[in-house]
Amino acid sequence: MTTAAVICRSRTGKTRRYAEETGAHLQTRGVDVPVVSIGDCDMATLGDVDLLLLGRWTNGMFVVMQHPDQPWVAFSRDLPPIRARVGLFTTYQLATGSMFGRMKAELRGRTPEPEIELKWRDGRLSQADRATLDRFVAGS
């Protein structure tokens, strides 16, 4: 069975909801997947999973300067060696700008290069998101 983990950082619950919907979709594809916040994450287990989805809210000046905050940077730097295929997600209000680039920069050399980027402004996990997740699970 494919194993996965969805790890998120959420302030007001939107990113958590997106993470839960992502996890629920992966379950329908037969993937065993806990959804946890970065603070509750058992880091040692992440080294063993096949798929790792990492997501957080977009933090910046709304049009520019998007970047992960200190708890996320600390989380990224504490990761054990990761063999999983990696995907990123973020929720936002106006623009994600440099968010994915900065998240990738923090992960570089610690995880394989992320394969997918999902972003969510409002609403629910879209059909396009589900299709992207399906391709990610299938490895195509």
Ligand X SMILES: Cc1cc2nc3c(=O)[nH]c(=O)nc-3n(C[C@H](O)[C@H](O)[C@H](O)COP(=O)(O)O)c2cc1C
Residues forming the site for ligand X (CB under 6 A): 10-16, 57-62, 66, 91-95
Cα–Cα dist 38/54, whole Å: 9
Minimum CB distance to ligand X, residue 62 (Å): 4
Choose between 8 and 107: whose C-beta lies nearer to ligand X: 8
> With respect to ligand X, which residue has the nearer C-beta, 58 or 132?
58
Specify the residue, 3 or 59, whose C-beta has the smaller distance to ligand X.
Answer: 59
3-class DSSP state for residue 57?
A: strand
Count the Cβ atoms, other than its own, within 10 Å of residue 81: 8
**Distances in Å between the alpha carbon of 16 and those of 9, 35, 75, 105, 115?**
7, 9, 17, 23, 21
Q: Encoding tokens for residue 64?
A: 């520019």
Residue (23 or 60) nearer to ligand X, CB? 60
Q: In whole angstroms, how close is the CB of 138 to ligand X at the nearest point?
A: 28
CA 22, CA 94: separation in Å to the nearest integer? 22
Q: How far is the CB of 10 from ligand X (least distance, A)?
A: 3
Read off the amino acid at residue 43: M
Query: In whole angstroms, how close is the CB of 35 to ligand X at the nearest point?
Result: 13
